[in-house]
Chain A
């Protein structure tokens, strides 16, 4: 077998395709591969040359990996306060444990909710379907602040209601540390699993379940032997995204540490990398931190690739081609209905607390008032257009996100087209490269950018110390590129080859065909991808709070919020941060609505 078919290559590689391949490859090489390679290299260099010193140091030190608890509290009561913090098993293990627990709980909740919503009819289902997605509205930093405000043993709302007011609890509770992080993450990430599993449930060929029923399988057995195996690929896809998001999450961590300075909350990888970023600016980045980032990178990327392979092999939910089936919906007994209703209601109330809390913070005096707000005020919302620091941050983010979207559209549509429609040798690598940013923690990318462009592009437009704006734009477009590509790819797959062929037969070249036939047909997906890319860019945290911190007049909205929640700004300005989160939420709702309208169906929001 010939490894490299030159004739075929020649045939496939016309000028447009060549251009598209070039755009994709060059962009990804410079802004994804090079910085990550450089960072990886850094981690292997010690005084004695190239070796594994830093890795063995790290894996051998109990501060990072410890198989017995190094302290912490869970379930202990002191002075009438019940402490729920979790235990310290070393920074690296803590992160993995937190991510694993978050993924597990999210998976259970996600599957349950998806099953209830897609298989049962019950009172208020339509509204629940919408409200279940509320946690997806990003409220970076403010969410953990709200949780801190809820669970603060002194004057926290939960303790106020259940201990001081209702006297239900025998103690006050102090939720903090790793347990607090887990709670905050579960509440914001379960919709990822829910959405993925919902899509799978809708796509299961009903005849499969009907056959099983005819053969006598019922309820739990039917679910266990037929339905569940069929949704496993989607579940795996949602779970791995949750796992990665949890590992790289800074919002919950920083929020908890900012409000409560709990020593245990500091013992996770994302915070360690983030916190050593400041050090990195002076004495050079600690190679140990680079090693830590590399370990996490290897873990996320490899697990991501494995899951992707697995999902591709096992994706047999749609046995026959064709449209959607009427889903198998039943009306459960009153008993069950009320159980489902109460379960979902509680879940939504608890999970939407960050969003509700954000709105409360933005519109009332809750920041300074204690357990309950005392008056409604518009003074914080007006800062969105009156306070020049706030408007500058908003404008910066708008500009960055818009330019990032343009880059995403150009690079994303190029790569998606080549991958979906062309048959270039090595296109698999391009595809992989373009989807990997999902699995690259933002802080890792930020460290890589800092090393590469801060050292070797000193004084140029790409030097983050001189002006981080351009790098932020590029970081946004790289990080959100996979979502764009997935969206366009989905559209391209629906276009039959015969449409292109007819165009060629009528004498149009590839460029004309691409511009006149393909683009109009995927424009909906393109716009929807662009909208989501825009929203994600606006709410991007990891690179924004690291690179964005390098110059005040270039700071994006999320860094501004972190500065407020995390200190620096004047007292009481948490409410201003909450107002900005409200703005983000509004943008997100608008984008999701428009995108749903354009595609006339629920967008498969996240996934592999």
Chain B
């Protein structure tokens, strides 16, 4: 056995050596032959239409001849075997082998074809779901513009938004960023990771978009250059499960304010409302920002706190939508298209509401990343997305987004979705609050973490107090005045003092303070941990105190 093995190995080794030698002889042996007899090589170089090509350099055996206006070349060589190469910028290089054993003239013609634009695979960072990416890729790759730029594939990178800056810098070859909200794209812009949209095709399609909708500009223009454009628009509101509300005898809410009402505390400890953790959902963070700007800092936080006490707080905004559809909750705070999808999924049950006390209409951007190796091709995709063809993707029944370009409603596909068109018209007329992105981003990290500390992580105590307070009020154990005294303090940052872990001083979470710690809350994990812990401790103590105060009144 063992010897057999050895023999085999030797046999294999011999074969390998023979192959190597043979290869060497075939590929590297110089086909010398006798010297000093010269052969003439000449010919004509034309393009694929038969037109003579000038300026083609033809070379063999170390000699080169350049074609003239007639496309002809000529040179002499020692007799022998040669590889003759014809080369011109913008054309594919061609090589022919020529055997010239005698000292006579050999004719060798070339036909060069234009170099095709190289095949492009676009790398796109996206927050869009696979429904959107799949449908837009399929439609785009068969489009004329994709063929023109020879784009053969799109690779999607569904990386979490917080990682985009790192991912772009690290990978250094992303072409496009698509979806994820204006805040994220402003971050990319401020980090100088975006290139302006400059191609003529883009400029023409950009001019077809409305300038603004609901008071929000659809494009971000900086130094008179377009840095990103909204490919879709969205609003924020809530999705109702009408059956649930009916079963529990709860009214349909019309305003954000309603969600903070003690009426919805009657089902506790089983919450009727669903919302998502600010730390984990950008769309719900936006909703909280709308409420804070609409109602002002202190009143906004009071509202958010009571709403949090009334809520199941999910980890993702999609879960809020699903819970509303399945009837785990009666009301879910959602971005508009989750509402439309729910509505479409179950029309008798679900309904999307645009709050009467104000929403915000947001463009959902697309942008060119400055690391793009193929900026022309990348802009071609962006052009397509903003064009009527690309906008049709939003109308697909599983997607249900508001297009940025309303002209799409005039197409055959658009006429099939009168429901979406109707919502588009309603959205245009929606009550919109004056909203500043700059203000929102100036305290966003602080907001998310304060929300986490006072509402999410302390929710057991929070809900417990709110349940006791509202049931005491409902059963008449406390008067309306007493109830309102609690409401005034509950969730009001003016009434919550905590020990600032850095200065050791008593501190209140004012808007100014939130802005001052915002960047450190984002970047410094130790700082954030200490700050959140301090606020959490104060909040939990406060909720316990409230419970005791309430007990003293009710006995």
Report A's interface with B, CB cutoff 8 A. Answer: 46-47, 57, 61-63, 70-73, 78-79, 81, 83, 88, 152-155, 174, 257-264, 267, 275, 278-288, 368, 388-389, 458-459, 463, 465-466, 508, 512, 516, 549-553, 566-572
Verify A78–B313 contact, CB threshold 8 A: no
Verify A263–B463 contact, CB threshold 8 A: yes
A515 to chain B, nearest CB (A): 10
> B162: which of A79, A83, A88, A281 is its contact (CB, 8 Å)?
A281
- Residue of B whose beta carbon sits closest to that of A458: B170
Interface set, chain B 354-409, CB cutoff 8 A to A: 398
Q: Is the interface of B mostly helix, strand, loop or mixed?
A: helix
B518 to chain A, nearest CB (A): 12
Among B13-21, B46-54, B113-121, B318-326, the one that faces the other chain is: B318-326
Q: Does B167 contact A (CB under 8 A)?
A: yes
* Residue among A88, A153, A258, A368 facing the most chain B CB atoms (10 A cut-off): A258
Inside 8 A of B88's CB, which chain A residues have their CB?
A: none
Verify B166–A552 contact, CB threshold 8 A: no
Verify B526–A568 contact, CB threshold 8 A: no
B399 to chain A, nearest CB (A): 9
- Residue of B whose beta carbon sits closest to that of A259: B328
Verify B328–A512 contact, CB threshold 8 A: no
- Residue of A whose beta carbon sits closest to that of B161: A282
- Residue of A whose beta carbon sits closest to that of B462: A263
Verify A279–B279 contact, CB threshold 8 A: yes
Instruction: Other than A282-B522, A285-B525, A552-B157, give 6 A-B pairs with Cβ distance below 8 A.
Output: A259-B328, A261-B274, A282-B523, A287-B525, A465-B167, A568-B316
* Residue among B159, B247, B319, B341 facing the most chain A CB atoms (10 A cut-off): B319
Verify B155–A553 contact, CB threshold 8 A: yes
Verify A279–B131 contact, CB threshold 8 A: no
| Contacts A79-B267, A466-B171; A154 near B247 (Cβ below 8 A) | yes
How many residues on B have C-beta within 8 angstroms of the other chain's C-beta atoms? 65
Q: Does B74 contact A (CB under 8 A)?
A: no
Verify B170–A282 contact, CB threshold 8 A: no
Q: Does B45 contact A (CB under 8 A)?
A: no
Inside 8 A of A283's CB, which chain B residues have their CB?
A: 522-525, 528
Verify A571–B328 contact, CB threshold 8 A: no
Inside 8 A of A287's CB, which chain B residues have their CB?
A: 525-526, 529
B308 to chain A, nearest CB (A): 10
Q: Considering the chains assembled together, what is the distance between the CA atoms of A500 and B330 in angstroms? A: 72
Inside 8 A of A153's CB, which chain B residues have their CB?
A: 270
Q: Considering the chains assembled together, what is the distance between the CA atoms of A262 and B322 in angstroms? A: 15
> A465: which of B163, B313, B325, B540 is its contact (CB, 8 Å)?
B163
Contact sample, A vs B, 6 pairs, CB 8 Å cutoff? A260-B328, A263-B459, A512-B2, A553-B157, A567-B322, A571-B345
Inside 8 A of A278's CB, which chain B residues have their CB?
A: 160, 162, 279-280
A249 to chain B, nearest CB (A): 17
Verify B269–A78 contact, CB threshold 8 A: yes
Cβ contacts B321-359/A at 8 Å (1 or 0 each): 111011110000000000001100100000000000000
| Contacts A71-B461, A260-B328; A567 near B316 (Cβ below 8 A) | yes
- Residue of A whose beta carbon sits closest to that of B342: A571
Q: Considering the chains assembled together, what is the distance between the CA atoms of A599 and B312 in angstroms? A: 50
Q: Considering the chains assembled together, what is the distance between the CA atoms of A564 and B378 in angstroms? A: 31
Cβ contacts B516-538/A at 8 Å (1 or 0 each): 00000011111011000100110
A429 to chain B, nearest CB (A): 34
Inside 8 A of B460's CB, which chain A residues have their CB?
A: 70-72, 88, 263-264, 267
Inside 8 A of B171's CB, which chain A residues have their CB?
A: 466
Verify B319–A258 contact, CB threshold 8 A: yes
Report B's interface with A, CB cutoff 8 A. Answer: 1-2, 129-131, 134, 155-160, 162-163, 166-167, 170-171, 244, 247, 266-270, 274, 279-280, 312-319, 321-323, 325-328, 341-342, 345, 398, 456-457, 459-461, 463-464, 522-526, 528-529, 533, 536-537, 540
Q: Considering the chains assembled together, what is the distance between the CA atoms of A306 and B474 in angstroms? A: 57
Verify B321–A571 contact, CB threshold 8 A: yes
Verify A569–B130 contact, CB threshold 8 A: yes
- Residue of A whose beta carbon sits closest to that of B317: A567
Verify B270–A174 contact, CB threshold 8 A: yes
| Contacts A263-B460, A282-B162, A570-B398; A257 near B130 (Cβ below 8 A) | no
Verify A566–B315 contact, CB threshold 8 A: yes
Q: Considering the chains assembled together, what is the distance between the CA atoms of A572 and B321 in angstroms? A: 11
A172 to chain B, nearest CB (A): 10
A569 to chain B, nearest CB (A): 7
Inside 8 A of A466's CB, which chain B residues have their CB?
A: 170-171
> B525: which of A72, A154, A279 is its contact (CB, 8 Å)?
A279
| Contacts A283-B524, A550-B159, A552-B158; A567 near B315 (Cβ below 8 A) | yes
| Contacts A88-B460, A279-B279, A286-B525; A81 near B270 (Cβ below 8 A) | yes
Q: Considering the chains assembled together, what is the distance between the CA atoms of A361 and B45 in angstroms? A: 69
| Contacts A260-B328, A283-B524; A83 near B130 (Cβ below 8 A) | no
Q: Considering the chains assembled together, what is the distance between the CA atoms of A70 and B539 in angstroms? A: 13
- Residue of B whose beta carbon sits closest to that of A367: B326
- Residue of A whose beta carbon sits closest to that of B267: A79
Inside 8 A of A258's CB, which chain B residues have their CB?
A: 314-315, 319
* Residue among A152, A257, A261, A463 facing the most chain B CB atoms (10 A cut-off): A261
Q: Considering the chains assembled together, what is the distance between the CA atoms of A458 and B216 in angstroms? A: 39
| Contacts A284-B525, A287-B526; A571 near B341 (Cβ below 8 A) | yes
Verify A154–B327 contact, CB threshold 8 A: yes
Q: Considering the chains assembled together, what is the distance between the CA atoms of A284 and B268 in angstroms? A: 37
Inside 8 A of A61's CB, which chain B residues have their CB?
A: 533, 537
Q: Considering the chains assembled together, what is the distance between the CA atoms of A553 and B121 in angstroms? A: 15
Q: Considering the chains assembled together, what is the distance between the CA atoms of A264 and B525 in angstroms? A: 25
- Residue of A whose beta carbon sits closest to that of B522: A283
Inside 8 A of B167's CB, which chain A residues have their CB?
A: 465
Verify B170–A459 contact, CB threshold 8 A: yes
Q: Considering the chains assembled together, what is the distance between the CA atoms of A72 and B528 in angstroms? A: 27
* Residue among A63, A283, A566, A568 facing the most chain B CB atoms (10 A cut-off): A283
| Contacts A155-B327, A263-B463, A512-B2; A571 near B322 (Cβ below 8 A) | yes
Verify B160–A567 contact, CB threshold 8 A: no
> A282: which of B163, B536, B537 is its contact (CB, 8 Å)?
B163
Q: Considering the chains assembled together, what is the distance between the CA atoms of A278 and B160 in angstroms? A: 9
A463 to chain B, nearest CB (A): 8
Inside 8 A of B268's CB, which chain A residues have their CB?
A: 78
